[in-house]
Amino acid sequence: MIECKNITKIYQTGASEAAKVLKGVSFSVDDGEFVAIIGPSGSGKSTLMHILGMLDTPTSGDYFLDGKNVAGYSDDDLAEIRKNKIGFVFQSFNLLPRATVLRNVCLPLVYAGVDKTAREDRARAALACAGLGPEYHQHRTNQLSGGQMQRVAIARALVNNPSIILADEPTGNLDTKTGEIVMETFQSLNETQGHTIILITHEPDIAEYADRIIAVRDGMIVDDRKNQNKKIGIPGVADRKQI
């Protein structure tokens, strides 16, 4: 499903200086995998995620999504692919602060041209999947706790039923307990609904929830292993309303 071949990314930082952030990364991810990309800050993992999420394009190398090389796609072509195939979860949630929970979750469907009623039905379903009860649907997102906000963000990532969910430090702004619950949610999405999940983190504990761990350092993959001691989030580990 995802195949990266020798991807490099160079940022021009000055007239003659250039930062080589990715130095030839190659790997592939199959349908339904739960992959954690782990690395310290500055390792290039965020850049890698942006390229995987088509928010950015590689300087060289090829990126195949569902067998198609996306090199040379225009901004609008990339937006089209993001809309249909990729859901994002960000560290800082990136919710519209004044809008209601439901409205935030509906946002991707607005661009997909889905009718308002269908949109809200799907948003409610996605929120249920992400574990946020109907009592919050009309809340403004700036009235929610961090964990609740991240659930809204997860629901938003799910709502257009993308094949891939890209999560960039989804637990970075959450306390440990809440972070565990969010990770458990990802696991259940992966197991029960078959979404491919790619998780970016710098915390080994969080990476342990994935099936496969890719370690990145200085712009190169230094390790790519199956996670032998996968942490299993206990279903119903906490009353979700408490988070």
**Which positions touch another protein (CB under 8 A)?**
50, 53, 55-56, 75-76, 79-80, 82-84, 88, 90, 94, 96, 98-99, 107-108, 110-113, 116, 156, 160
Output the smallest distance, CB 22 to another protein, in A: 14
Main-chain dihedrals φ then ψ at residue 235, nearest 5 degrees? -55, 135
Task: State the amino acid at position 67 in one-letter form.
Answer: G
Q: Which is nearer to another protein, 84 or 176 (CB)?
A: 84
Q: Which is nearer to another protein, 197 or 213 (CB)?
A: 197
Q: Which is nearer to another protein, 121 or 205 (CB)?
A: 121
Burial of 44 from C-beta contacts in 10 A (0-12 / 13-18 / 19+): buried
H-helix or E-strand spanning residue 50? helix 45-52
Output the smallest distance, CB 103 to another protein, in A: 8
Q: Closest Cα partner for 125 from 154, 148, 147?
A: 154
Output the smallest distance, CB 60 to another protein, in A: 18
Any alpha helices (H) in 86-175, and if so which ranges?
A: 101-112, 116-130, 146-158
Q: Which is nearer to another protein, 56 or 224 (CB)?
A: 56
d(CA 213, CA 106): 32
Measured between alpha carbons, how far is residue 243 from residues 98, 99, 145, 166, 220 in Å? 21, 21, 7, 22, 37
Q: Which is nearer to another protein, 169 or 208 (CB)?
A: 169
Residues 92, 136, 106: CA angle, nearest 5 degrees: 65
Output the smallest distance, CB 126 to another protein, in A: 13
d(CA 79, CA 193): 24
Q: Which is nearer to another protein, 1 or 107 (CB)?
A: 107
Output the smallest distance, CB 56 to another protein, in A: 6
Output the smallest distance, CB 233 to another protein, in A: 26
